[in-house]
Amino acid sequence: MRRPLVNGYFLALAIGNAARDLIYYYFLSEGIDPLLYAFVTVLTVSTLSSIRLSRKPSRDSETHLVPLSFGLLWKLVALGLLSAYLYTFFWSVTVLTPGIFNLVDYSLTPILTAVAGWCIFKERFRASGVTVFFLYIAGLLLLSSDVSARWSAVVFAATYPLATALSDAVTKLVLRDYPTIDENFVIVWRFWLAVPILFGAAILVGTTPVWWYVLISVPVAAILSYVPLVFLVRGLRTATLETLASYDMLIPILTMIGSLPILWKQLGPSSLIAFLILSIAFYLQWRNLRLS
């Protein structure tokens, strides 16, 4: 797969993830509980993937029907459990705002994703990449020094980076072991446990949604969750986890910019310096990838 195409997939993924968090926070969070919204999201994504699979011509069946070996089964169980946990993050978004949540979540996600690529797939871990990540962390710490947040929510949000890195690594393992597998098959199995688990959690919470908000959530999930996930799987077929990690660095920058209407009173001159440092870190990492 050509590198510009892969870069486009991961850029669209970063923009889609940032837009998903911002749209939920600003327009949907008052009318639909975070767990119910998470359930609607994974159900919508699974349904769309299942429909796409059912419309595949029979001659293409070998691209998504693979033998269910133990090696594949444990990966699919791991993906399902990780996805069920990861999609509870909407609660943290409502408490912290998308900007602060992603400052916490993506403080370590790019680094852990790159480390997973190095440990599991023997990807090259360049010294220049280490320098960029230290610069990235410095920018995030400088930016976070200007904002205040509920610490219980911050601690909860800090548990997501490892789960995200592991989820992406397991997805790449499946794609490596089954190179012709259809991306919609991977997405269906990514959420096969998340759908019933999040449904049960939403029932236990017992909130009464505004059904108009639930209906709106379906097309939002289709555009900002399903499409980016397809891009994620397509990109991971050939790209390294380090490449994905590089574009993950964009997400806290984009969501922090989108959260400025709420957080602007907390931000001072150091925040401008932090945005500059983060932008430089992303540019240096992007240049490293082009030269590799």
Measured from the Cβ of residue 74, the count of other Cβ atoms closer than 10 Å reads: 11
Quickly state the pLDDT bin for 15 (edges 50, 70, 90). Answer: very high
Q: What value, to the nearest 5°, has the Cα angle with vertex 98 and ends 225 and 205?
A: 75
Q: What per-residue confidence (pLDDT) applies to 59?
A: 47
> Exposed, middle or buried by CB within 10 Å (0-12, 13-18, 19+), for 121?
middle
Q: Are 120 and 173 in contact (CB under 8 A)?
A: yes
DSSP string, the chain: --HHHHHHHHHHHHHHHHHHHHHIIIIITTTS-HHHHHHHHHHHHHHHHHHHHHTS-GGGGGGT-----HHHHHHHHHHHHHHHHHTTHHHHHHHH-HHHHHHHHHHHHHHHHHHHHHHHS-----HHHHHHHHHHHHHHHHHHTT----HHHHHHHTTHHHHHHHHHHHHHHHHHHSTT--HHHHHHHHSTTHHHHHHHHHHHH-----HHHHHHHHHHHIIIIIHHHHHHHHHHHHS-HHHHHHHHTHHHHHHHHHTHHHHGGG--HHHHHHHHHHHHHHHHHHHHHHH-
Quickly state the pLDDT bin for 230 (edges 50, 70, 90). Answer: very high
Mean predicted lDDT score pLDDT of the chain:
85
Round to whole Å and give the CA distance between 226 and 229: 5
Q: What per-residue confidence (pLDDT) applies to 135?
A: 84
Taking only the tens place, the pLDDT of each residue in 81-102 is 999 999 999 999 998 889 888 8
Residues constituting the chain? 292
Q: What per-residue confidence (pLDDT) applies to 125?
A: 67
Q: Look up residue 75 and give its amino acid.
A: K
Q: What's the Cα-to-Cα distance from 226 to each of 63, 128, 136, 184, rounded to whole Å?
A: 20, 34, 28, 10
Domain boundaries, the chain: 3-291
- The pLDDT of 277-289, averaged and rounded, is 78
Residue 279: pLDDT over 90: no
Q: Which residue has the higher pLDDT, 179 or 223?
A: 223
What proportion of the chain, given as a percentage, has pLDDT over 70? Answer: 89
Q: What per-residue confidence (pLDDT) applies to 128?
A: 66
Quickly state the pLDDT bin for 146 (edges 50, 70, 90). Answer: low
Q: What per-residue confidence (pLDDT) applies to 62?
A: 47
